[in-house]
Amino acid sequence: MEIIAELGETGRMLLPLMSPDAPSSGEALLFLVRGADVAVVPGDPEAYGATTFIGTLDGRHCWSADLNDSGPAAVDPGAWSNLMQLYGRVDEAVWLAAGRAVQLVDWNRNHRYCGRCATATELSERERSRRCPACGLAAFPRLAPAMITLVERADGRVLLARNAGWPTAMYSCLAGFVEPGESVEAAVRREVREEVGIEVGTLRYFGSQPWPFPHSLMLGFHAEYGAGRIEVDGEEISDAKWFGRDDLPQIPGRISIARKLIDDWALR
């Protein structure tokens, strides 16, 4: 079997579904998951044991299969990669479908037993959830909302920071998870203040991106600088500086919404 290469034009989208609502327009696409790796191959889902229907792409049925459970299969070793490596080897619609498949497999693995009473859970036939037959607790696929923002000063320079845990000297936008009881906008202001010590003014929503590492939804903003001087927290952030279009450091690749935020600013 070979990895699915470029399958079509950009702008396509996976239609998420619980079960097929029409015959497949072509051979099914299988998203095989082994550990954290995925292989995208055409084939018969029944050949891989237990599978999960994830939706349709251009009318083609898309299924995920957890090969940790269903055993070895005759898959070309070169077809396996993690999601980061898969980006660019397939078109964006297939990559997003692969991210959905990996997240659903991970959710099924981690919610086999009820977190309240430890009874084995069952897949619901009506919705994407695992329910406990004893106490009724439902577990849905986890999604963690996170903000990411590019802060810009009045002189046109933007704030980029280096995460203390990164192995390379890459600089990116500030980001962080939304906390319980907090709006995304409030999270932007809090994270910027906590990580680099400055205040931001007006926020402008830019867009969102599913980020399956492991289960985030990134919500992107442009932010105007408000007040204060850079004082990095020294824990999450090791350095932060103001950069112009002609002196940008190493920045993230095109896989991320961080790069899209930076490109949107740089091309104005």
Residue 74 has pLDDT above 90, yes or no: no
CB-based burial, 154-165: b 16+ in 10 Å, e otherwise: eeebbbbbbeee
Residue 141 contacts residue 104 (beta carbons within 8 Å): yes
Mean local confidence (pLDDT), 195-209: 97
144-266, CATH topology level: Nucleoside Triphosphate Pyrophosphohydrolase (3.90.79)
Residue 7 has pLDDT above 50, yes or no: no
Band (76; pLDDT cuts 50, 70, 90)? confident
Mean pLDDT (the chain) is 92
**What was the pLDDT predicted at 47?**
86
Collapsing DSSP to helix, strand or coil, 84 comes out as: helix
Band (78; pLDDT cuts 50, 70, 90)? confident
Collapsing DSSP to helix, strand or coil, 33 comes out as: strand
- Of the listed ranges 38-42, 50-54, 264-268, the least confidently predicted one is 50-54
Band (25; pLDDT cuts 50, 70, 90)? very high
Q: Where are the beta strands (DSSP E) in the chain?
A: 15-16, 29-34, 37-42, 51-57, 60-66, 122-123, 130-131, 138-139, 144-152, 158-163, 174-177, 199-211, 216-227, 237-243
Q: How far apart are CA 243 and CA 220, in angstroms?
A: 19
Residue 69 has pLDDT above 80, yes or no: no
Q: How far apart are CA 261 and CA 246, in angstroms?
A: 16
Q: How far apart are CA 222 and CA 212, in angstroms?
A: 22
Residue 167 has pLDDT above 60, yes or no: yes
138 - beta bridge partners? 131
CA count, 13 A, side-chain hemisphere, 23: 2
Q: What percent of the chain lies above the pLDDT cut of 70?
A: 94
Mean local confidence (pLDDT), 220-248: 97
pTM: 0.88
User: 114 Cβ partners below 8 Å, 6+ apart?
Assistant: 120, 121, 132, 134, 135, 137, 139
**What was the pLDDT predicted at 18?**
93
Residue tagged 């950009």 (tokens): 10
Collapsing DSSP to helix, strand or coil, 207 comes out as: strand
pLDDT for 222-232, tens place per residue? 999 999 999 99
> What architecture does CATH give domain 15-110?
Alpha-Beta Complex (3.90)
**H or E element at residue 98:** helix 92-110
pLDDT for 120-163, tens place per residue? 999 999 999 999 999 999 999 999 999 999 999 999 999 999 99
CATH 3.90.79.10 residue spans of the chain: 144-266
Amino acid at 189: R
pLDDT for 181-197, tens place per residue? 999 999 999 999 999 99
CATH 3.90.79.20 residue spans of the chain: 15-110
